[in-house]
């Protein structure tokens, strides 16, 4: 049961994810979370580094879609300048949004990676949809009210996984 919360990979940030390594794995699409994955939850627009990362992926023909549980205004303001498709109020970890993006991308499950900072939403949702998942360290340590609750549950799950020897990275 706990294995559903286990990401396939763990990295410090999105910038540790390079298109060459994705293409070696046959990855052609990225489904990414927004808040605390791409930018801090209270930052409205993409940073120059994030813009550069998006452009790098696009140069390598890797499609990107942002899915967020946040509202339309938040996600649209961030995504539209990047010319990137998005889904707001995604209700992660439910797999519906992940399946919709897969269909829109026209890719197979094994050609898509999910990137996010939360085990309870991004990793669980991506794993439930049968996708490869990458957990990133949250950009900032502050969160909204719901996410703070999720983080407490997440720490318990990660501790159990660590005690079972299923994860080796440090928090």
Backbone angles phi, psi at 122, to 5 degrees: -70, -50
Average pLDDT score over residue span 53-82: 97
Residue 56 covered by a domain: yes
Bond prior to 95 in cis (omega within 30° of 0): no
When divided into structural domains, the chain yields a total of 1
Instruction: Judge whether residue 151 has pLDDT over 60.
Output: yes
pLDDT in tens, 138-149: 987 766 666 777
Residue 109 covered by a domain: yes
Angstrom distance (rounded) from CA 98 to CA 29: 12
Q: Global pTM? A: 0.89
Instruction: Judge whether residue 13 has pLDDT over 90.
Output: yes
Residue 77 covered by a domain: yes
Residue 67 covered by a domain: yes
CATH of residue 78's domain is 3.40.50.1000
Residue 129 covered by a domain: yes
Residue 159 covered by a domain: yes
Instruction: Judge whether residue 134 has pLDDT over 80.
Output: yes
Q: What domain range is 59 assigned to?
A: 2-163
Sign of CA dihedral 70, 76, 81, 85: positive
Residue 168 covered by a domain: no
Residue 70, token pair as written in the block: 């946040």
Instruction: Judge whether residue 26 has pLDDT over 90.
Output: yes
Residue 143 burial (CB count, 10 A): 17
Residue 55 covered by a domain: yes
| Mean pLDDT, the chain, whole residue set | 91
Instruction: Judge whether residue 97 has pLDDT over 60.
Output: yes
What pLDDT is attached to residue 144?
A: 62
């Amino acid at each position: 049961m706990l294995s559903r919360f286990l990401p396939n990979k763990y990295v410090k940030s999105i910038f540790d994810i390079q298109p060459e390594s994705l293409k070696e794995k046959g990855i052609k699409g990225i489904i990414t979370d927004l808040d605390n994955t791409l930018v801090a939850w209270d930052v409205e627009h993409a940073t120059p580094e994030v813009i550069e990362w998006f452009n790098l992926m696009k140069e390598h023909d890797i499609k990107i879609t942002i899915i967020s549980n946040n509202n339309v205004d938040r996600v649209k303001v961030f995504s539209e300048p990047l010319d990137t498709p998005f889904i707001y109020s995604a209700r992660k970890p439910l797999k519906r949004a992940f399946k919709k993006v897969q269909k829109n991308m026209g890719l197979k499950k094994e050609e898509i990676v999910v990137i996010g900072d939360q085990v309870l939403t991004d990793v669980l949702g991506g794993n439930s949809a049968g996708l490869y998942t990458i957990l990133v360290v949250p950009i900032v340590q502050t969160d909204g009210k719901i996410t703070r609750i999720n983080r407490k549950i997440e720490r318990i799950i990660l501790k159990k996984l660590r005690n079972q020897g299923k994860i080796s990275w440090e928090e």
